[in-house]
């Protein structure tokens, strides 16, 4: 008995919602920090003799700048991931249209564009075979060795 690996598929809904949630959380954290910074700064400007607000403004401002620097660093990788997820969802929609089923009933085995894409549908498993320049693809029905060893993320 060898080690069996589970093949993971991702639903259309999972692909559409997975990227957005983390981005919204980052925006909320940055907004809260910016608001706190503004409150401390206003308190300091009103009471110039009370240095605790100045110190708190400096601490929160530094934290805000640090988080903004990390955001800037992650920006290009987030853009790339969002673009790849968009490409994958397009493949799911086109595959569903060719098989005449709803995209919500199609799952794909990757969150990024690669050469070994497979989809899981109620009609079976299909391998996506791209042409040489990667602009078009055909669906080839395949039989998995162990179709029970499949997990689907985003399935309700």
3-state secondary structure of 124: strand
Residue 11 placed within a domain: yes
Residue 145 placed within a domain: yes
Residue 2 has pLDDT above 60, yes or no: no
Model confidence at 1, in pLDDT bands (50, 70, 90)?
very low
pLDDT in tens, 26-73: 778 888 888 888 888 888 888 877 778 788 888 888 888 888 777 776
Residue 120 placed within a domain: yes
- Mean pLDDT score across all residues of the chain: 80
Decide: 30 and 127 in contact? Cβ < 8 Å.
Answer: no
Residue range 91-115: average pLDDT? 85
Residue 2 placed within a domain: no
- Residue 115 to residue 106: CA distance in whole angstroms: 18
- Residue 15 to residue 6: CA distance in whole angstroms: 19
Residue 129 placed within a domain: yes
96-118 per-residue burial string, b: 16 or more CB within 10 A, e: under 16:
beebeeebeebbbbbbebeeebb
Residue range 117-134: average pLDDT? 87
**Beta carbons within 8 Å of 145's beta carbon, 6+ residues apart:** none
The structural domain count of the chain equals: 1
Burial class (CB in 10 A: 0-12, 13-18, 19+), 30: middle
Residue 18 has pLDDT above 80, yes or no: no
């Amino acid at each position: 008995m060898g080690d069996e690996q589970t093949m993971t598929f991702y639903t259309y809904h999972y692909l559409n919602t997975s990227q957005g949630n983390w981005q919204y959380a980052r925006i909320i954290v940055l907004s809260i920090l910016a608001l706190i910074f503004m409150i401390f700064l206003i308190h300091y400007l009103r009471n110039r003799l009370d240095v605790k607000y100045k110190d708190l403004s400096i601490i929160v401002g530094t934290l805000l700048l640090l988080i903004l620097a990390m955001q800037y660093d992650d920006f290009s990788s987030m853009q790339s991931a969002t673009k790849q997820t968009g490409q994958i969802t397009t493949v799911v929609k086109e595959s569903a249209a060719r098989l005449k089923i709803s995209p919500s009933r199609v799952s794909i085995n990757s969150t990024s564009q690669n050469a070994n894409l497979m989809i899981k549908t109620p009609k079976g498993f299909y391998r996506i075979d791209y042409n040489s320049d990667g602009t078009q693809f055909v669906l080839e029905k395949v039989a998995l060795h162990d179709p029970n060893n499949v997990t689907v993320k985003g399935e309700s």
